[in-house]
Amino acid sequence: MERTFLMVKPDGVQRGLIGEITARFEKKGFKLAGAKLMNISEELAKEHYGEHKERPFFGELVEFITSGPVFAMVWEGKDVIATARFMMGKTNPAEAAPGTIRGDYAVQVSNNIIHGSDSPESAVREIGLFFKEEELVAYDKSVAAWI
Ligand code: PCG
């Protein structure tokens, strides 16, 4: 079963959107495998966003993601990586469709509420950066056959 890394960013935590966001993935039918509220160190931020290090906004990105707690999660399910990205909406909230998380709750690209892995390789890398294997919980849900 596929896994992805999702993270409510500091703006989403401050705006009280953790419950709203996790509810969307729960109701969709995905399974939560791990979650924690945490502060991101500058070192972890730079590693996580390593692919953007040459971008002009890299400094702002690191400053923003370390500016307050984030809610880090691992979700499981069929095609969860692509489906979660679809549910999040386009990176720039101005282009994100209504009904998506960014389309409903965000205005600017720097404060776009949520991060989600963009590929199976990123998911493995990001889950490994944020979670120890023992922090992830394996369990069955009795409704699985109905999803
Ligand atoms: P995310 O977390 O999916 O991955 C990289 C992030 O860079 C992206 O979401 C955006 O929040 C952020 N980003 C993209 N373009 C810009 C920009 O022009 N300025 C700033 N500050 N952030 C950006």
Taking the model in full, what pTM does it have?
Answer: 0.97
Active site residue 48: no
Mean model confidence pLDDT for the chain: 97
Set 3, 31, 48, 115: catalytic member:
115
Tokens of 16: 């009280």
Supply the ipTM of this predicted assembly. 0.95
Cα dihedral sign, 15-129-124-60: positive
Binding residue numbers for ATP: 9, 57, 85, 91, 102, 112
pLDDT at residue 17, as a whole number: 98
At 50-71, the pLDDT tens digits run 999 999 999 999 999 999 999 9
- 10-residue block means of pLDDT along the chain (147 residues)? 97 98 98 98 98 96 98 98 98 98 98 98 98 97 93
Tell me the best of 109, 118, 126, 130 to mutate to test the pocket of ligand 1, counting ligand atoms within 8 Å of each CB and taking the most.
109
